[in-house]
């Protein structure tokens, strides 16, 4: 077999065959002389190469399970054609958590692993550019990504089938895992070796397609250690786009504040006319107000009316009628002030104000005539008031509402992302979140 066969024709090495020393089951070897342990899929016996022959060392049949990807299957991951040469069922040394690993082999690229825990799949390859000394750090940087410590644990083998280049029953490994979804860095240390592997999350559908599986894969439970959050609509990208839109909103608001500077149209004081009748309800005469002209580039603009009245424990209101002398359209609205103060229960208090304002939205251009109708209480001492009219006043309520509209989608994604991350870290002893 040549490299051309391997790369271009996707051919893998021919297999050798041995018989299980316990049940005589025919076992096929792809890695040939590299294998030091073999697990028989028929009887669960583990064989070890020693004294130039295969010898049985332990039977693991009691934990036998069927691999989701049969040993001997082939598939292409990230452009590399792998053959599944081994399958191991692991259990954490100090807990009941179990996971499954598939040993992948390619004659040119060597070994890789597919790990499955709670239906979440990770594709591991060896990396050689990290120090082999056991790490005690809580985080690390690798290739521009910050990885956070997720888990430390020991392992033991419950069941194995296929061929292995290491003594699976002798070397209890310890793992330290750092995550930066969808990637993981895992340091594996045992009594005689240490290595680093980089893991990449694989969707179950991708695994099924890679190995041409027809049976169903283990159902996903919870959030995987490196399962990415909503790949179709990532929180990072949404935040970035939302941030750009927010900056544009601020720029637009500043632009319109510069272009549409507020302009005072009216500032005038008036005397409150005496009541029409000496007794009974206060009935005041309407006052002809000033006129002003509204002229804008877009045909409409906003108006702000501000009323001041020297109220003191009383109220004063103004009914304002605006008549557009160009179109004869009339607009009515009310504007009032009230101010109360006192001393109750040993404390002085006050509420209200002597001024109040109201905004009129999108008023058409034209010349306006104002008619003012004052109202006040029977005992009111208010005898004057002042009215101011400004145009093109910045409408901050618009700014805040549009800001809210821009923030809705990133906000929802943030809540989803936060909940997702909290679920992810629920499985870790090093979670930055608190759980009730």
**Contact residues: another protein, CB under 8 A:** 231-233, 237-238, 241-242, 245, 248-249, 252-253, 256, 260, 286, 296-303, 314-317, 319, 321-323, 327-334, 336, 338, 340, 358-363, 371, 373, 375, 391-392, 395, 397-399, 401-402, 405-406, 409
CB of 396 to another protein, least distance (A): 10
Between 173 and 260, CB nearer to another protein: 260
Between 72 and 205, CB nearer to another protein: 205
Angstrom CA distances, 257 to 223, 250, 252, 260, stand at 48, 11, 8, 5
Is residue 13 within 8 Å of residue 29, measured between CB atoms? no
Between 28 and 296, CB nearer to another protein: 296
Between 226 and 317, CB nearer to another protein: 317
CB of 245 to another protein, least distance (A): 4
Between 59 and 353, CB nearer to another protein: 353
Angstrom CA distances, 201 to 15, 35, 205, stand at 30, 28, 12
Between 35 and 393, CB nearer to another protein: 393
Between 178 and 368, CB nearer to another protein: 368
CB of 244 to another protein, least distance (A): 8
Least Cα distance to 208 among 112, 30, 77, 41 occurs for 77
Least Cα distance to 126 among 37, 187, 201 occurs for 187
Is residue 389 within 8 Å of residue 265, measured between CB atoms? yes
Between 19 and 361, CB nearer to another protein: 361
Between 125 and 355, CB nearer to another protein: 355
CB of 331 to another protein, least distance (A): 5
CB of 363 to another protein, least distance (A): 7
CB of 126 to another protein, least distance (A): 31
From its phi and psi, is residue 31 left (phi > 0), alpha (psi between -120 and 50) or beta?
alpha
114/109 Cα distance (integer angstroms): 15
Report the chain's C-alpha Rg in angstroms: 40
CB of 383 to another protein, least distance (A): 17
CB of 124 to another protein, least distance (A): 26
CB of 384 to another protein, least distance (A): 17
CB of 260 to another protein, least distance (A): 7
Q: How many CA atoms lie within 13 A of 205 on its CB side?
A: 0
Residue 269: strand, helix, or coil: strand
Between 321 and 431, CB nearer to another protein: 321
Between 132 and 362, CB nearer to another protein: 362
70/161 Cα distance (integer angstroms): 10
Q: What are phi and psi of 252, to 5 degrees?
A: -65, -40
Q: What are phi and psi of 236, to 5 degrees?
A: -60, -45
CB of 365 to another protein, least distance (A): 11
């Amino acid at each position: 077999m040549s490299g051309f066969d391997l790369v271009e024709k996707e051919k893998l090495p021919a297999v050798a065959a041995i018989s299980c020393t316990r049940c005589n089951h025919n076992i096929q070897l792809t890695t040939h002389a590299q294998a030091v342990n073999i697990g028989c899929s028929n009887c669960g016996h583990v064989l070890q190469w020693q004294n130039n022959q295969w010898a049985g060392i332990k039977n693991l049949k009691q934990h036998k399970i069927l691999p989701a990807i049969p040993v001997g299957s082939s598939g292409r991951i990230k452009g590399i054609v792998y053959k599944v040469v081994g399958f191991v069922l692991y259990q954490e040394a100090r807990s009941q958590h179990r996971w499954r690993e598939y040993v992948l082999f390619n004659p040119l690229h060597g070994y890789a692993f597919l790990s499955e825990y709670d239906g979440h799949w990770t594709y591991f390859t060896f990396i050689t550019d990290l120090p082999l000394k056991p790490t005690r750090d809580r985080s690390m940087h690798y290739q521009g990504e910050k990885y956070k410590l997720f888990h430390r644990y020991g392992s033991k083998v419950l069941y194995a089938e296929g061929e292995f280049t290491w003594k699976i029953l002798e070397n209890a490994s310890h793992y330290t895992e750092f995550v930066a979804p969808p990637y993981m860095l895992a340091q594996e240390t045992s009594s005689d070796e240490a290595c680093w592997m980089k893991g990449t999350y694989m969707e179950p559908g991708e695994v099924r397609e890679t190995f041409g599986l027809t049976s169903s894969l283990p159902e996903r439970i919870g959030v995987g250690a490196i399962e990415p959050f909503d790949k179709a609509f990532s929180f990072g990208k949404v935040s970035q786009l939302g941030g750009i839109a927010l900056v544009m909103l601020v720029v637009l608001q500043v632009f319109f504040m510069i272009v549409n500077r507020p302009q005072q149209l009216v500032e005038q004081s008036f005397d409150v006319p005496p009541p029409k009748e000496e007794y009974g309800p206060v009935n005041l005469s309407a006052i002809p107000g000033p006129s002003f002209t509204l002229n804008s580039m877009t045909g409409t603009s906003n108006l702000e009316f501000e009323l001041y009245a020297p109220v003191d424990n009383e109220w004063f209101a103004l009914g304002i009628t605006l008549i557009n002398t160009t179109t004869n359209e009339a607009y009515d609205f009310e504007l009032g002030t009230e101010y109360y103060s006192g001393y109750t229960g040993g404390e002085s208090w006050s509420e209200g104000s002597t001024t109040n304002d109201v905004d009129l939205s999108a008023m058409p251009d034209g010349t306006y005539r104002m008619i003012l109708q004052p109202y006040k209480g029977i005992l009111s001492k208010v005898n004057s008031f002042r009215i101011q009219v400004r145009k093109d006043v910045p409408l901050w309520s618009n700014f805040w509402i549009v800001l809210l509209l821009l923030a809705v989608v990133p906000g929802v994604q943030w809540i989803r992302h936060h909940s997702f991350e909290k679920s992810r870290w629920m499985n870790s002893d090093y979670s930055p979140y608190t759980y009730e």
